[in-house]
Structures are given as structure tokens and as C-alpha cells.
Structure 1
Amino acid sequence: MFKLFEKIKQSRIALVEWSKAIFGNSKTKLQVLQAELEDLSLQNNANNAQRISTLKSEINTILHHDDLFWRQRSRSIWLPAGDKNTKFFHQRESQRRRKNHIPGLQDTDGGWYTLDEQIAHVAEQYFKELFTTTNPTDMGSVLYVMDRCVTPHMNNALLQRYTPDEVKWALFQMHPSKSLGPDGNVVSRILPKVLANRLKTILPTIISEAQSAFIPNRLITDNTTVAYELLHRMQNKRNGKVGQMAGEA
């Protein structure tokens, strides 16, 4: 894990240096180009037409890159970058920072903690207690009546060591505008994707066709919609001798 974080850190440093070398200070460069464009426009000289066209193209490129930068920072990947979007992206980024900020956490004893180390400890203890087993007994009688869906062959495939190709595939499934940070978030995203990619190979054989969850293009809320439609049908069918169902209160 340490090696992964170090590689992400070194990649971030390299990308920052690359950005400085290629783009530099875009705000200063934009001001210089706009000043030159204004000066040439005031001269009203036909010989400056080519230079004016070049300046406009460079200014548009800088503005487009600026829009893309703030679009990525704001995580608004659903909105295409374009003119007059920068203000929205600034506001979106500020809103995202406020929303993601955790001022403090309260533990089970009622204590309030605000330091980063304390917040991490409270969160860790909460989930540790939540997912710690209570050591139930006599689980065999419960499992005995359940049909076995996962075969030994499937189980053996799931228990195989993960390969670099699987990790790479999961990483490249992430959105290209999502930046990676050395804070563990990228790891927490890759691991579920790697697990999900393996589970996808056996899910069609262990999930019922009537099940709405874990099925592509279906939602668990579809069950609520179906139940509502059935009740609506029953309430509106007042006439006729041919029934469709029987209900007992």
C-alpha cells in the first residue's frame, strides 16, 4: 500500500511540473495576450489581421483550458465545458468543499472530536464495531435450508490472486476527469471495481431473473413501482365477472 501511495504522489508531482512547463500561469498569459489584442485592434491596421487572428485563437484556447480545469475541480462531469461556465464551476467547487468538510464526529460516549486524527479514530471504531461479529451459534441449521448457488468452481475463481491486469482494467474504468489523490480514495474506488468485475462473471447464475437489484438497467425501487401499479389496477377494476387475483385482509 505504501508503494502505491508513493507512486501516486510521484505522479502528482510530475503532473504539476508538466502543467507548469506546458501551461504556465494561464491568468498572467491571458492578461498579456488580451492587452496585445486590444492594442492591435486600436491601431486599425490591416497588416495586423494575421496576428489578431492568432491572438484570438490563443485566448480561446486558454479560456477553454480554464473551463476544463474548473470543470474537473468541481466534479461536474455531467455538464460540458463551454462559454461562461467558469463562474458556475468556481461555485460548484466551493460547494463541494463545504459539503465534503467534516468539522467533527461524536463517538458512542457523546464525546465531540474535531482533530483529523481524532475524527479518523472515531470513524474507524464505529465501523469496526459495526462489522465485528457477535459470534452467533447454530448457523448450520439456517444455512442447511438455503440452496447453494455458488459452486466450488465459482468459489475457486473468486479466491484467485488478483492480477495487475485486473487492477489496471478497474483503474481505466474510472472517469478520465477524476483526479487521483494520495489520500486512499483511489484505493477505495479500485478495490470495489476489481471485486465487482469478478462478481459480474457469476452474478447471472446466482441471481434470480425476477430480482430487481444487481441487475443491469433495473432498480430496487422498481418493486415499489410494480406494487403501486398492481394496487392501482385492483382499485380501478370495479366491473366485470372475470377476476385477476384474490386478496384477503
Structure 2
Amino acid sequence: MTCHHQSCSRIDRVVVSIEWIEEFPDIRVKSGPRGLSDHCPLIVEDARVRGGPRPFRSLDSWFTHEGFLEMVKNEWRNLGDAQFTRKLKALTIPLRKWHKDNFGDMDKRLMMVEEEMKKIDNMVSNGTYDGTTEARRRALVSLCEKWYIRKEIHWKQMSRSQHARNMDKNTRFFHNIASARRRNNRIDTLMIHGRLVRNQARIKVAIRGFYKDLYRQEYVPRIGFRDGLVRQIDVDEATALEVMPSAEEIREAVWDCESSKAPGSDGYNMNFIKRC
């Protein structure tokens, strides 16, 4: 910041475009040593942390694909009669592969469709036009709309935006929110026993140990009840407590949950549970 009399101006700045941020979403700006100068150099660095493979997460955009539900049913039947939670964990393997084959690099797939549409438009401009060309272009327009919808649903889910429910073609807004969330949630450094640690493996161990100690119960109180202090329930009430919930009660409890919420760390949100 430099000031002359009544006016002040900030001259130490880094200027980037939205397109540049989209290409490098994990950038950080830090200041270098000032030395004898009145100003310090500004350094733009890639702060991307290699934290290993990303955890599994079910995506709402999968349901826009015509063959998704059928694929899930077939894979579920192939897993046999294993325990429900084990089948969910095993299902992540074919789901990851299916996602890579059908939804991998949505921007590239969308670009290929738009380029094909452009070729057809150039053919029409050059006088080549018939029923086949028109049908081909209509099919490409429909496919392009599907990919735009999938991209929007995907980035809305990633950004966890609570904005308008209606479809919004400005996916850049949700993309930037999701990138900002990743930057804010990422732990690059952590103070451990008075020392600043950057090693990701040590940070993970420290965080795991902190919460393990936090929720560990060292003392288990022994509580006794005097006769007559607590009313004893009758046989009918005891039987009612042990009755297994009905399918209708389970369905009502599941459908009462927010669809975007995940009940556990397995990565499946309630929307996946409801629709599959």
C-alpha cells in the first residue's frame, strides 16, 4: 500500500482471470522477502497436495444416464447374499469403473459433441443439407443438452450450493464454489507439539490420534438404581421395544432424510439409497 497525501493505492497485487483459476484451482499467493525495497515480491504457487486417491462418492448426475439403474441392479445381484454393508463397499469398484467409462472428463466429451455440431453447421453453410444431416444435428443437440445438465448437477453437488432449485447453465459459478471449498477444507500445515508440520502422513496420524483420544472413555461410571427409583416396564412394553421395524417404517425413515446427506463414510448419499 502506498499513500500520497489524501489518496492511497494498492500496487502489490496479482491479477488472474477466471479461466486461469479454473485451469489452476489450487493456486495460493504468498509474499517473498522484501529486502531493501518498500515492496515485497508476490509469488503465485500451486498448492495442490497429493493426498492419495480420492474417497468414493456417489454422484446424482449418474441418474441422468439411461443405463445406470440397470447396471446397479445387475452388479448388486452378482454380489450374491453378502452382508448389506459389504455389498455396498464392493459395489464401489464397478461404480468407479462405470463412472470412468461413461462420465470421465465431461468437458472433453462436451467439447467433442460441440465440435461435431460445428462441422455439421459448416456443411450446411456450404450447401450440404438433407434429412440425414438434420436428424444428425438434432441428435447432437439433444446429447449436448444432456451433458450440460449432467455437468450442472455434478458441480452443484460438489459445491453444496443452496441456491436456486431451477437449472442454471452457469456451471462456472458452482465449479468455483467447489474449488474454494476444497481449498478451505484442505489442511496444508498443522501445529503438532509446537512444531509446524507439512508432511501429510504425519498430519493424518495426528488428526486421527486427536479424535481417538477425544472420544475415548477412560472412566466408566457404575450406576445403580434403588428399588422403586425407576418404574419397571411391563411385558407388552418390553416386547414392543424388541420388535423389528417394518419395511414401511424403514422406508419412512429413509425418505425423511435429506437426499444430499451421506449417512456414513462409505460415500453413498441418501439420494442413491432412495433411487436404487
Q: Give the total of aligned pairs.
A: 178
1:31 corresponding residue in structure 2: 111
The DSSP-based 3-state class of the residue aligned with 2:161 is coil
Q: List alignment gaps of at least 5 residues for structure 2.
A: 1-82, 271-276
Query: Is contact 2:155-2:174 (8 Å) kept?
Result: yes
Name the CA distance, whole Å, in 2 between partners of 1:104 and 1:6.
35
Are 1:12 and 2:97 counterparts? no
Percent identity of equivalent pairs: 24
Cα separation, partners in 2 of 1:164 and 1:100, compared to 1, 3 Å: farther
1:118 corresponding residue in structure 2: 206
Q: List alignment gaps of at least 5 residues for structure 1.
A: 190-249
Name the CA distance, whole Å, in 1 between partners of 2:191 and 2:238.
40
Structure 1 counterpart of 2:216, one-letter code: K
Name the CA distance, whole Å, in 2 between partners of 1:38 and 1:136.
76
Relative to the length of structure 2, the TM-score reads 0.47
Query: Is contact 2:89-2:266 (8 Å) kept?
Result: no
Structure 2 counterpart of 1:116, one-letter code: K
What pairs with 1:92-241 in structure 2 (closer than 5 Å)? 92-101=177-186, 115-129=203-217, 135=221, 144=229, 151-152=233-234, 153-154=236-237, 156-158=239-241, 160=242, 165=247, 170-171=253-254, 173-178=256-261, 183=265
Residue among 67, 70, 83 paired with 2:152: 67
Q: CA deviation at 1:51?
A: 2.3
Name the CA distance, whole Å, in 2 between partners of 1:110 and 1:156.
56
Query: Is contact 2:190-2:203 (8 Å) kept?
Result: no
Name the CA distance, whole Å, in 2 between partners of 1:106 and 1:185.
29
What pairs with 1:38-77 in structure 2 (closer than 5 Å)? 38-42=118-122, 43-44=124-125, 45=127, 46-47=129-130, 48-76=133-161
The DSSP-based 3-state class of the residue aligned with 2:216 is helix
Cα separation, partners in 2 of 1:128 and 1:40, compared to 1, 3 Å: same
Structure 2 counterpart of 1:117, one-letter code: V
1:231 corresponding residue in structure 2: none
Structure 1 counterpart of 2:209, one-letter code: H
Relative to the length of structure 1, the TM-score reads 0.51
1:197-227: CA deviations, max 9, x gaps?
A: xxxxxxxxxxxxxxxxxxxxxxxxxxxxxxx
Q: CA deviation at 1:74?
A: 2.4
More helix by percentage: 1
The alignment's C-alpha RMSD in Å is 4.5
Query: Is contact 1:105-1:119 (8 Å) kept?
Result: no
1:87 corresponding residue in structure 2: 172
Name the CA distance, whole Å, in 2 between partners of 1:140 and 1:28.
71
Q: CA deviation at 1:81?
A: 5.7
